[in-house]
């Protein structure tokens, strides 16, 4: 679901506890469990604002008191349920990682060494820029465009955001085998609009970015920092003009463009792909690769020929500094934070260092740290309960597909086959990753980062052309998130999301189905959204729909596009209905499937009234309280312009209005602000 962790993608942390949130906001210690007890119903009654009618603003009705009284902590650009869950995971990880250095297990000791290297600020400051000496030398030695291609590949291998990125993933037309994909990469500002939009907000960000580049280069001893910053911003602006917009970047058909080695060479217009791949540690140009944005790659190749080499060298030096700044001296790390978190997202102070150390373990040694986490915090009973819940949701989905009135029988058969083939991953992988070949030292943070990033790149790229290992996970087990992967047709729910407050077997079923059940249904529904539905049961990009079904589905989803286009989270800044469509489809379908599963679980019984709330009301409040959260304006702007997830308020108010049980449960009627006429409601899965 990816609630916007990376930006963020991160996703769907659920079921906040008002008292725990307040504690976290002031950095007070948590109770032993990490959370205080909720009401008997599971609903967070203290979070609600009952002065707001549920037909006026359901998000505020469910969460209004929390929104009014709990500030965003100064070390955050956003705050809500998922951040609370992350904080709980970090507390658990800290105890594990601090004790890891004394373990008899060599991989656990590696975790301890990496954590220790991050916490040793004296050694980091003493090392200065020396850990980057070899990379600076390689950049300085660039003498022609062949060298330029080599260094671009070398930096890509080390994990830096060079303009052309390569990665390995299943082939969308042959999902049994891995392919090499070539793609545009991120730039220093969040998206192309930040370079090309003339609005004052973006002009201010560009000016601040220029000042930041000057500061970073100056800290590295560049006497020509201002001149080089001019060249870097000009080069990134030229690259931004070539970039595809976010909607097109998410289109699986547009981004599937296979190329032979000869065709790739022609696409590059003289760009030396052989040297690029040599720099990336690969033996020659792959016989076949997939260009996600062919015209972008051709455009960057043109820039490689026309932009002066000195400008490229300055840019590569900056990319090296920008990518490594969090792991270098305090002054560089502070400047990196001041711009990337302060200017771009409005964050006021850095997160505590130990939390950042835990996050680094997740990123570089995720399965080694995850194995420790699961052993301590995810007992077999929790996995068994999650398995049972998922099976109930799958049964409900089968029933709903069979009952669709807008889908023809041939397409239904294929949809049911895809659902039956969906691989469900719960908790943790069956086989843990082997890090024995990775060198981690307790006194060499920057070296650890470079070696680990190269280790992962090489691990991935060795698999080009090899069979896909469908047992492998694409997310760390301690992450409070979940995902659907269309090319392996799998859903995964890590241990980090299958625990309180999201997954609490002690809570009332209605609330749990509205929160946890809707999350599971959401991930399943990504297999049938406007993107996932273009892949078949085996994970291949193949059209299995009749033309009539396509037309009916597009007419229904157009209602969501039109509705979300009208939402204006910031003055003059509207949600892009096309960009957020897949998440909206998954939210709406997931809510419906969870409701089906909940009502099926009752077997005709009438659920009790708890805390003055009916079962249907508790279910809907579980859904709404699962999206409790708020963002600073700068972070909200970046989300709107670049992210496929709409802001939390609209994931609640924009979805429940299509769901008839909402009207029935709360007596919402024509004339109420949130009443949506029946002919404007999208009935999907």
Whichever domain contains 648, its CATH number is 3.40.390.10
Burial class (CB in 10 A: 0-12, 13-18, 19+), 469: exposed
Q: Are 617 and 499 found together in one domain?
A: yes
Q: Is the pLDDT of residue 361 over 80?
A: yes
Q: How many domains does the chain have?
A: 2
Q: Are 84 and 173 found together in one domain?
A: no
Strand, coil or helix: 287: coil
User: Which residues constitute the domain of residue 570?
Assistant: 18-93+364-429+473-680
Q: Does 449 reside within a domain?
A: no
Q: Is the pLDDT of residue 134 over 80?
A: yes
Strands (E) across 594-635 are located at 629-631
The pLDDT score that the predictor gives to residue 41 is 86
pLDDT per position as a tens digit, 92-119: 999 999 999 989 999 999 999 999 999 9
Q: Are 89 and 200 found together in one domain?
A: no
Letter string b/e over residues 167-190, b meaning 16 or more CB atoms within 10 A of that residue's CB:
ebbbbbeebeebbbbbbbbebbbb
pLDDT per position as a tens digit, 520-556: 999 999 999 999 999 999 999 999 999 999 999 999 9
Contacts of 507 (CB under 8 A, 6+ apart): 15, 38, 42
Task: Tell me the mean pLDDT in the region 184-206.
Answer: 97
Q: Does 511 reside within a domain?
A: yes
Q: Is the pLDDT of residue 505 over 80?
A: no
The pLDDT score that the predictor gives to residue 95 is 96
What DSSP state is assigned to residue 532?
A: G
The pLDDT score that the predictor gives to residue 1 is 52
Q: Are 315 and 406 found together in one domain?
A: no
Q: Does 112 reside within a domain?
A: no
Strand, coil or helix: 302: helix
Average pLDDT, the chain: 92
- Provide the percentage of residues in the chain whose pLDDT is more than 90: 88
Q: What is the CATH number of the domain that holds 255?
A: 1.10.1380.10
Task: Tell me the mean pLDDT in the region 276-292.
Answer: 96
Contact between residue 78 and residue 7 where contact means Cβ atoms under 8 Å apart: no
Q: Are 383 and 506 found together in one domain?
A: yes
Q: Are 368 and 415 found together in one domain?
A: yes
Q: Does 525 reside within a domain?
A: yes
Q: Are 28 and 83 found together in one domain?
A: yes
Contact between residue 470 and residue 352 where contact means Cβ atoms under 8 Å apart: no
Q: Does 636 reside within a domain?
A: yes
Per-residue pLDDT band for 501 (boundaries 50, 70, 90) equals low
pLDDT per position as a tens digit, 69-83: 999 999 999 999 989
Q: Does 221 reside within a domain?
A: yes
Cα(158)–Cα(137) distance, integer angstroms: 15
The pLDDT score that the predictor gives to residue 234 is 98
The pLDDT score that the predictor gives to residue 394 is 96
Q: Does 317 reside within a domain?
A: yes
The DSSP result for 76-120, as a single string, is -SEEEHHHHHHHHHHHHHHHHHHTGGG-SSHHHHHHHHHHHHHH-
Q: Are 626 and 534 found together in one domain?
A: yes
Q: Is the pLDDT of residue 183 over 80?
A: yes
Per-residue pLDDT band for 271 (boundaries 50, 70, 90) equals very high
Q: Are 73 and 187 found together in one domain?
A: no
Q: Are 482 and 576 found together in one domain?
A: yes
Looking at 309, 327, 345, the residue that finishes a domain is 327
pLDDT per position as a tens digit, 2-31: 443 333 333 333 333 233 322 222 233 333
Per-residue pLDDT band for 381 (boundaries 50, 70, 90) equals confident
State pTM to two decimals. 0.91
Q: Are 164 and 245 found together in one domain?
A: yes
Looking at 269, 299, 327, the residue that finishes a domain is 327
Q: Does 454 reside within a domain?
A: no
Looking at 280, 311, 327, the residue that finishes a domain is 327
Q: Are 173 and 253 found together in one domain?
A: yes
Contacts of 405 (CB under 8 A, 6+ apart): none
Q: Is the pLDDT of residue 653 over 50?
A: yes
């Amino acid at each position: 679901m990816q609630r916007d962790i990376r930006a963020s993608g991160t996703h769907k942390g659920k079921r906040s506890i008002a008292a725990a949130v307040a504690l976290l906001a002031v950095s007070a210690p948590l109770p032993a469990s990490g959370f205080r007890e909720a009401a008997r119903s599971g609903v967070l009654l203290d979070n609600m604002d009952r002065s707001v009618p549920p037909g006026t603003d359901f998000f505020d009705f469910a969460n209004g008191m929390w929104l009014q009284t709990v500030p965003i902590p100064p070390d955050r650009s956003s705050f809500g349920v998922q951040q609370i869950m992350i904080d709980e995971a970090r507390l658990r990880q800290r105890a594990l990682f601090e004790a890891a250095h004394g373990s008899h297990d060599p991989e656990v000791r590696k975790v301890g060494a990496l954590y220790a290297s991050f916490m040793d600020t004296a050694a980091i400051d003493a090392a200065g820029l020396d850990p980057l000496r070899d990379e600076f030398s390689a950049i300085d030695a660039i003498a022609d465009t062949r060298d330029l291609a080599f260094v671009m590949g070398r930096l890509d291998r080390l994990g830096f955001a060079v303009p052309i990125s390569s990665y390995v993933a299943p082939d969308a037309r042959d999902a049994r085998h891995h392919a090499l994909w070539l793609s545009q990469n991120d730039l220093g500002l969040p998206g192309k609009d930040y370079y090309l939009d003339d609005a004052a907000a973006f002009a201010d960000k560009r000016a601040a970015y220029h000042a930041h580049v000057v500061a970073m280069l100056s800290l590295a001893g560049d006497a020509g920092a201002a001149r080089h910053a001019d060249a870097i911003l000009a080069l990134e602006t030229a690259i931004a003009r070539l970039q595809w917009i976010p909607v097109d970047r998410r289109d699986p058909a547009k981004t599937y463009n296979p190329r032979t080695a000869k065709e790739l060479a022609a696409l590059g217009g003289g760009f030396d792909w052989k040297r690029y791949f040599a720099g990336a540690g690969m033996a020659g140009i792959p016989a076949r690769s997939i260009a996600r944005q062919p015209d972008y790659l051709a455009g960057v190749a043109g820039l490689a020929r026309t932009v002066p080499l000195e400008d490229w060298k300055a840019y590569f030096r900056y990319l090296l500094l920008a990518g490594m700044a969090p792991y270098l001296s305090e002054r560089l790390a502070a400047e990196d934070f001041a711009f990337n978190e302060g200017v771009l997202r409005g964050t006021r102070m850095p997160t505590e260092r130990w939390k950042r150390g835990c996050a680094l373990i997740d990123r570089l040694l995720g399965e080694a740290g995850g194995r420790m986490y699961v052993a301590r915090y995810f007992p077999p009973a929790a996995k068994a309960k999650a398995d049972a819940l998922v099976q109930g949701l799958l049964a409900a989905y089968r029933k709903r597909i069979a009952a669709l009135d807008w889908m023809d029988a041939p397409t239904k058969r294929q949809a049911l086959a895809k659902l039956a083939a969906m691989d469900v991953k719960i908790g943790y992988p069956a086989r843990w990753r082997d890090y024995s070949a990775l060198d981690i030292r307790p006194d060499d943070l920057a070296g650890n980062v470079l070696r680990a990033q190269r280790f992962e790149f090489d691990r991935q790229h060795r698999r080009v052309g090899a069979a896909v290992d469908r047992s492998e996970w694409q997310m760390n087990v301690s992450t409070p998130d979940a995902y659907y992967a269309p090319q392996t047709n799998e859903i995964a729910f890590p241990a980090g999301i299958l625990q309180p407050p999201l997954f609490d077997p002690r809570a009332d079923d209605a609330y749990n189905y509205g929160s946890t059940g809707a999350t599971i249904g959401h991930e399943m529904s990504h297999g049938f959204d406007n993107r996932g539905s273009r892949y078949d049961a085996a994970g291949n990009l193949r059209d299995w729909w009749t033309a009539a079904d396509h037309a009916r589905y597009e007419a229904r989803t157009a209602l969501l596009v039109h509705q979300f286009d009208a939402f204006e989270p910031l003055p003059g800044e509207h949600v892009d209905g096309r960009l957020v469509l897949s998440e909206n489809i998954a939210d709406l379908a997931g809510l419906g499937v969870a409701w089906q599963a909940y009502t099926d679980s009752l077997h005709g019984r009438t659920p009790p009234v708890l805390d003055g709330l009916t079962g249907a009301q508790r279910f809907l409040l579980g859904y709404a309280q699962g999206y409790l959260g708020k963002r600073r304006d700068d972070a909200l702007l970046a989300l709107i312009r670049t992210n496929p997830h709409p802001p939390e308020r609209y994931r609640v108010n924009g979805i429940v209005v299509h769901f008839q049980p909402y009207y029935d449960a709360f007596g919402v009627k024509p004339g109420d602000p949130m009443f949506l006429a029946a002919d404007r409601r999208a009935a999907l899965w």
